[in-house]
Structure 1
Amino acid sequence: MKIGEQLKQNRLENNWTQAEVAEELFVSARSISNWENGRNMPDIESLIRLARLYRLSLDELLMEGSEMVEDLKKKEQAAQLSRILFFGPIMTSTLLLILMFILPSGLNRGCKFLIIAAAGTNFVPWLYLKMKIDRLKGREHDWEKEIRNSKIITFAALILILLFVAYLYTL
């Protein structure tokens, strides 16, 4: 039996509504509905509260619904990937920009453009890792939301790049 089915069965056996369970767990009734329908999984704190509420052990909840164990493993893997998300692209971009300033002043514009392009391509692996982390967390990548949330960062980065390119052409 899946964990969502088990949660629903236990709730119905106790003749509770989703709202009553939600009130006991300090979550919304929508969260209870999402858990019971398998749309997402409760966090560990909610699992502990559910186990106490339904007088079950965590083993019973987790072992009966093996997808919960898989979900926890995916979240752990996502947390590990999150730690390295920015390290590679930022380090490479920084090193390329430092390289551009320590090279001889007679560096032609083609080489400068190549270095800027190499620094810019670091955004591709960053986006790939971000999408992979979102999938592991059980979310599909929402491009509209991503664009909405990153307008300021994108605008600031664009201004910095334009200023940097303008600086290069004045050399």
Structure 2
Amino acid sequence: MEIGKQIKKYRKVMELSQEELAEKIFVSRQTISNWENNKNYPDVKSLLLLSSFFNVSLDILIKGDIDEMKEKIKTEDINKFKHDSNIFAVLLVLTILLPIPLMKFMGRAGIIIFATICIVEIYYAIRIEKYKKNFNIQTYKEIINFLEGKSINEVEKHQEYGKRPYQKILLAMGSGLLAIVVSAIMMYLLL
């Protein structure tokens, strides 16, 4: 981050110690040190006070940090999406494989365990759908590009947009068929 260098530069131009600057903007000397060493980032109030005190625009003060912040946010979003997708995938497999064994061997307790798994799975499905809606990603190609941090051009975007309804129908049919096959196998194994 560039903010540390900027604070240090303007502080030295004004010939202030860290302690003197800290007094002027109502923080501790350690806070100034942490900012200058990029251990943490000033909050909005502190940024405004620094900008005003140094008599520079906020844009100049945080120069270079905006792109880095955008990249960090994008990386964090991708990591959250991957994390939630992995949890959802595990829960989906559990809801496919566990209902009959849980009910057969654990009775009512198995039903409660299965219901709990389903509720948590629904929660993660909703989170994933919110990510997809926020980033306008629906098709497999769009999701893969998002996970890789890439974007697609306008022509490809329109092509992918046209595929969305068909992929949803095929996904629903495939999920239903998979559920039938797994249920038949489980019934055969348990009876």
Q: TM-score, normalised by structure 1?
A: 0.45
Instruction: Calculate the TM-score normalised by the size of structure 2.
Output: 0.42
> Relative contact order: is structure 1 or structure 2 higher (C-alpha 8 Å, sep ≥ 6)?
1
